[in-house]
Chains A and B, each alone.
Chain A
Amino acid sequence: MQHLLEVKDLSVEFALRTGALRAVRNVSFTLNKGERLGLVGESGAGKSVTGFSIIKLISQPGYISGGSILFEGKDLAKMSSEGIRNIRGNRISMIFQDPMMTLNPVLTIGTQMTETVLAHMDVSYKEAEKIALEKLKKVYIPSPRKRLAQYPHEFSGGMRQRIVIAISLLTEPSLIIADEPTTALDVTIQAEIMDLLLELCQTDDMGLILITHDLAVVSEVTERIAVMYAGSIVETGLTSEVTMNPAHPYTKGLIAALPQSGGAGDRLTQIPGAMPSLINMPSGCPFHSRCTICTDICKVEVPQLEANKSGTLVACHHADK
């Protein structure tokens, strides 16, 4: 069966004055139609850059330095800017972190919705408006017609993110990439937005790449998970399997750091140390300096992703094979 998305050996570099910063290092993963994948890891691990590079939206001075991105049979990594423009916002939609910053403050919601429709579909303005109204209803925005004429600052944070989700639905894409879609919102609204996103993905059979550092959200929403550390995927498999039986010491650390995993009164465990610099990576396993089970081989040889007995891929010299 053909995958919806097949990312292979993707590498992204930023050409900085101090040297090349390799933010994404030979990342490979696949996504089937309608499947939901969680991309987790601490801040700076390269999750956002990975997500954005799928639609080749990397800010200067970054560029894709290797690998391929097969989406619906075409390699986006080799596609012209004209071609990629037809994919962006059309077949692949993005949801950004902060809805306050995502919507343009001087344009009405109506303008920001219809322009997306008009950029990708051969319809009249009236029809575009109709599509916009329909999607606003889908994300439960009350009195949508009135809302079209309003500006972003007239909405609350949660409402704005609903609108961004509505925009992502306009062209009925087959994949949504959501980069920390609830991080900037009130805690009370976070679950609401996540539930909505999950519901929409299920009813429309849309694929979802959910970028987050919140393992609890990932285990609720996604079917598969990829854990990133210092630009590489260190563990990937079924979400239920990885969260119940983490194999990589880094994943174990992440799960131990979750508040609910310890009993009441237990101290939260945190992984000591910090992620190495992506410009001057130490030799061997990128995690070895923070690892509790580090041995000599970890300091010299980079571990490759290999399947363990439960089918999870792990990049660790000491994982059970």
Chain B
Amino acid sequence: MIVIGFIGFAIKQSFGDPIREITGVSVSVEERNKLREELGLNDPFLVQFSRFIKGAMHGDIGRSFFYKKSALKVILSKAPATLELVFCSALIIVLFSIPLGIYSAINPRSIFSRIIMGGSTLGVSIPVFLTAILMIYIFSVELHWLPSYGRGETINLGGWRTGLLTLDGLKHLIMPSIALSSIMLPLFIRLIRSEMMEVLQNDYIKYAWAKGLAPRRVFIVHAFKNTLLPVITVGGVQLGTMIAFTILTETVFQWQGMGFMFIEAVERGDAPLMVAYLVVVGLIFVIVNTLVDVIYGLVNPQVRITGRK
């Protein structure tokens, strides 16, 4: 988190001169220097940095030049759109990767497994924006089934604008969330498959068969539970990467989320907003990693024991 704060601060420092933004060109050098002194911009680097961190602790990252509002407020108003998109993609990934991964690990030679593996190779190698544009072309332009941009109708739930509760909102969600999951889903299928195949080599699986257990029990209880451990670890990291992919997806679908806002902020040179984005994304990383650790502990008895002591 400190590292993120540091990077954010460095960007703020290097991105243009805030004085010029505030004052314009007509002000004399002397006046500029005076203002700079007042704002504390001539203080040593570390002093400025600690002031920045102190502000960030209180949720004050700076004001957006463009929106003329607190950068944090701007980003928080955009967060629901992104989070809903990520949530739906994660749901798609979990719902499909687990059964497909398990199936192709158990029957590596079957035709269906080969199709899954072939498809996932293809899926990984097609970039997100191409998948997105292809989908827009097929389902919006040609077939007119699905809307191609925006969030559609949203409902305000105590400050959280959700698109999950209206049919129109859900329709708008379909393509962006498929596009967003198009890279991670194949990766997860492959990950689950390879981890599970490795687990199936273990003696305890052979022993489970020797005990006369039903196939479902051997595969789900004995094999998949052990497969979960490495998948959770990698999964946590990948969920963070998915946030990065939201920038792409949101831009293509003009999805009014944090990623889209970030691109706009970069175009406008709106440094405080960029920093705010980095800080919020960093925060999400930290939360996700903590959650992953907690879930890992729930599955792995060894961690649980050491935790108890």
Q: A residues near B, CB below 8 A?
A: 55, 57, 59, 85-90, 93-94, 96, 98, 101-108, 115-116, 119-120, 151, 153-154, 167
Determine the chain A residues whose CB is within 8 A of the CB of B207 once the complex forms.
94, 96, 102-104
Please tell me which one of the listed residues B209, B212, B301 contacts residue A90 in the complex, with CB atoms under 8 A apart.
Answer: B212
Determine the chain B residues whose CB is within 8 A of the CB of A120 once the complex forms.
212
Asked whether B222 is an interface residue with its Cβ less than 8 Å from the other chain, the reply is yes
Complex formed: what's the CA distance from A119 to B299 in Å? 24
Complex formed: what's the CA distance from A96 to B208 in Å? 11
B301 touches A119 (CB 8 A): no
Asked whether B204 is an interface residue with its Cβ less than 8 Å from the other chain, the reply is yes
Instruction: Give the distance to chain A from B287, nearest Cβ to Cβ, in Å.
Output: 26
CB-CB nearest in chain B for A113:
B211
Complex formed: what's the CA distance from A107 to B301 in Å? 8
Asked whether B206 is an interface residue with its Cβ less than 8 Å from the other chain, the reply is yes
Q: B residues near A, CB below 8 A?
A: 202-204, 206-214, 217, 221-222, 225-226, 229, 299-302, 305
Determine the chain A residues whose CB is within 8 A of the CB of B229 once the complex forms.
106
A105 touches B206 (CB 8 A): no
Given contacts A96-B203, A96-B207, A115-B217, contact A107 B212 (CB under 8 A): no
A88 touches B203 (CB 8 A): no
Instruction: Give the distance to chain B from A210, nearest Cβ to Cβ, in Å.
Output: 16
A105 touches B212 (CB 8 A): no
Determine the chain A residues whose CB is within 8 A of the CB of B300 once the complex forms.
106
| 29 pairs from A and B in contact (CB 8 Å cutoff) | A55-B210, A85-B212, A86-B212, A93-B210, A96-B206, A96-B210, A101-B202, A101-B204, A102-B203, A102-B204, A102-B207, A103-B207, A104-B204, A104-B208, A104-B225, A105-B226, A106-B225, A106-B300, A106-B301, A107-B225, A108-B301, A115-B217, A116-B213, A119-B211, A119-B212, A119-B213, A119-B217, A120-B212, A153-B305
- A-B pairs with lowest CB-CB distance, top 10: A89-B212, A89-B211, A88-B212, A101-B203, A151-B301, A94-B210, A104-B204, A116-B211, A102-B207, A106-B225
Instruction: Give the distance to chain A from B187, nearest Cβ to Cβ, in Å.
Output: 24
Complex formed: what's the CA distance from A105 to B305 in Å? 13
Complex formed: what's the CA distance from A230 to B21 in Å? 86
Q: A88-B209, A89-B212 are in contact. List 12 more A-B contacts (CB 8 A).
A: A57-B209, A85-B214, A89-B211, A94-B210, A96-B210, A101-B204, A105-B301, A106-B226, A106-B299, A106-B301, A119-B213, A151-B302
